[in-house]
Structure 1
Amino acid sequence: MMRGVRFSPYTGREKTPFEKYMDVFKELLLYTSGDVNEAIDWLRELDKQYDISGDPDYKTDQFLEDLMKKGMLREEIRPDGRIQQVPSARMEQLIRQNALEQIFGKLKKTPSGNHRTKKAGTGDELAENLRPYAFGDPITSIDMHQSLLNAQRNSGIDHFQIREDDLVVRETFHNSQVSTVLMIDISHSMILYGEDRITPAKKVALALSELIRIRYPKDTLDIIVFGDDAWPISVGEIPYLQVGPYHTNTVAGLQLAVDILRKRRAPNKQIFMITDGKPSCLKESDGSYYKNSFGLDDYIVGRCLNMAAQCRRLQIPITTFMIARDPYLQQFIKKFTQANKGKALYVGLRNLGEIILDDFEKNRTRKL
């Protein structure tokens, strides 16, 4: 220990009143599906109870004024002619970054295609292992330093010469690409029984999209939502997702996911599905809907299991994140997972994102 030096715990930089407000406001925008007015109303109520900024001279009105000055909000004309405030592109980016930090931690940007497979050979990322040169190895992979040392040891300084047996190459790993489809259940059951399951699902989608953008830019992520039907959405639409008066057409979601992945050229493909686990709807070939909200319908379940098996034949693993605790529904997910030979994770809402990150990283090397 140094004499005359006193150490104290590092507390970090104190957040400004604006930053304290912003932390809460970003969360409220997700809960209100991007409704700025509703988020501000909640902000005022929370400020009354908890004094968010800790500064009597900085209140919600000042924060709202600063948001406009900093370009975090923009004005939009509604269909009825009224002007409303909506999040700007900059605010949407901050929401994605916030979700990434909350769920996945702080990650630094690395070169594109940054995931290692278990396959050695001619690749584009240097490894630590050396092996003897073999015909066909590119010259650029030869480790000249070690090869010269081998030649010196084998032939001596006086009769120095390099033979093929002296040459060694450094192993490389292939940087592979992964195409992922993230399916989000937006059926009415995602907000039933006093549980908000859709907000954590939105956070995961935002964080996963930001993760791929900054760390794996060669990868692709497609996001789809499914209720009575299934349709793709953009990253920019995620904060504004709302649960609808829908049943759960899991088959339609899987069919759309497969159609998307068929068009992707990446060698590795996978589906993540966030759901409460109860399929209750099908769209028939004549365009009509078959629905059954009571229990697990054998006809609907059978179609779901067929889709799971089809994905298995196409070598598309499905990882299902089950966010309901009903053992009856968990039995269906177990059968579904067995048909696909994928994975099922029965998780609470708090650790949903952490498990998705873990599985996303693992699935990159699953088939290689």
Structure 2
Amino acid sequence: MIDISHSMILYGEDRITPAKKVAMALSELITTRYPKDTLDIVVFGNDAWPVEIKDLPYLQVGPYHTNTVAGLELAMDILRRRKNPNKQIFMITDGKPTCLKIGKRYYKNAFGLDRKVVNRCMNLAAQCKKNKIPITTFMIATDPYLQRFVQEFTEMNHGKAYFASLDNLGSFIFKDFESGKSKNVF
């Protein structure tokens, strides 16, 4: 999952370029070194949608809020259809969910962490845990209150969180992916 909300380029920080580079490198690793694995890429802004590997270099942020819920729901739907025994979600984000779609309308709140949005994220983290889908979050922002949200989200899922700067994001992702691949599964 890759966050393509407007905040991925706010405040003079280009967070989307490192996110794309890491996604491209990870997809190359998976498709060449682990050809039996499947890889699906989901981007999320106001909504979530799948993209092809070939589209990664061309991803751009939009005038979107961050609908983490839509991204998680789509990722879970995709994984539910897979027969693979090991399922996991990697999420690259700046950590601030700001949007929900309720029926046909969007509920948006970019100021602080809205409890309605946060609670839906936490419910999905718990649902992923119940379905044995760990979520590894790579957070590329340094705001302490957003880091607390990511820590709570991670605890709810029993997943992992890495708080990376823009220049060390890649090393965290590959270390985590490789360590997951080296585990023996029955």
TM-score (norm 2): 0.97
Residue 292 of structure 1 aligns with an amino acid whose one-letter code is N
1:297 aligns with 2:151: no
How many residue pairs match? The answer is 185
**Matches of residues 182-331 of structure 1 in structure 2 within 5 Å?**
183-284=1-102, 286-331=103-148
Alpha-carbon distance in 2 for matches of 1:366, 1:359: 15
**Matches of residues 100-139 of structure 1 in structure 2 within 5 Å?**
none
Residue 232 of structure 1 aligns with an amino acid whose one-letter code is P
Residue 320 of structure 1 aligns with an amino acid whose one-letter code is T
Runs of 4+ in 1 over 3 A off after TM superposition: none
Residue 71 of structure 2 aligns with an amino acid whose one-letter code is G
Residue 363 of structure 1 aligns with an amino acid whose one-letter code is G
Tell me what 1:65 maps to.
none
Alpha-carbon distance in 2 for matches of 1:215, 1:304: 33
Tell me what 1:339 maps to.
156
Q: Residue 291 and residue 219 in structure 1: after superposition, are their counterparts in 2 closer, same or farther (change >3 A)?
A: same
Alpha-carbon distance in 2 for matches of 1:266, 1:242: 31
Higher radius of gyration, 1 or 2: 1
Deviations 1:113-152 (A, max 9, x none): xxxxxxxxxxxxxxxxxxxxxxxxxxxxxxxxxxxxxxxx
Greater RCO, CA 8 A, separation 6+: 2
Superposition deviation, residue 367 in structure 1: 6.0
Alpha-carbon distance in 1 for matches of 2:30, 2:110: 36
Alpha-carbon distance in 2 for matches of 1:366, 1:297: 40
Deviations 1:152-200 (A, max 9, x none): xxxxxxxxxxxxxxxxxxxxxxxxxxxxxxx000000000011100001
Superposition deviation, residue 366 in structure 1: 7.5
User: In percent, how many aligned pairs have the same letter?
Assistant: 70
Alpha-carbon distance in 1 for matches of 2:117, 2:180: 28
Superposition deviation, residue 363 in structure 1: 2.0
1:350 aligns with 2:175: no
Superposition deviation, residue 316 in structure 1: 0.2
Superposition deviation, residue 358 in structure 1: 0.5
Residue 283 of structure 1 aligns with an amino acid whose one-letter code is K
What do you get for the CA RMSD once the two structures are aligned? 1.0
Deviations 1:276-311 (A, max 9, x none): 000000001x21110000000011000000000000
Alpha-carbon distance in 2 for matches of 1:299, 1:307: 13
Tell me what 2:176 maps to.
359
Alpha-carbon distance in 2 for matches of 1:333, 1:211: 26
Secondary structure of residue in 1 paired with 2:88:
strand
Superposition deviation, residue 266 in structure 1: 0.9
Secondary structure of residue in 2 paired with 1:221:
coil
Alpha-carbon distance in 2 for matches of 1:223, 1:355: 18
Alpha-carbon distance in 2 for matches of 1:274, 1:328: 17
Superposition deviation, residue 212 in structure 1: 1.2
Q: Structure 2, unaligned stretches of length 5 or more?
A: none
**Matches of residues 25-174 of structure 1 in structure 2 within 5 Å?**
none
Q: Structure 1, unaligned stretches of length 5 or more?
A: 1-182
TM-score (norm 1): 0.50
Superposition deviation, residue 361 in structure 1: 1.3
Alpha-carbon distance in 2 for matches of 1:224, 1:300: 19
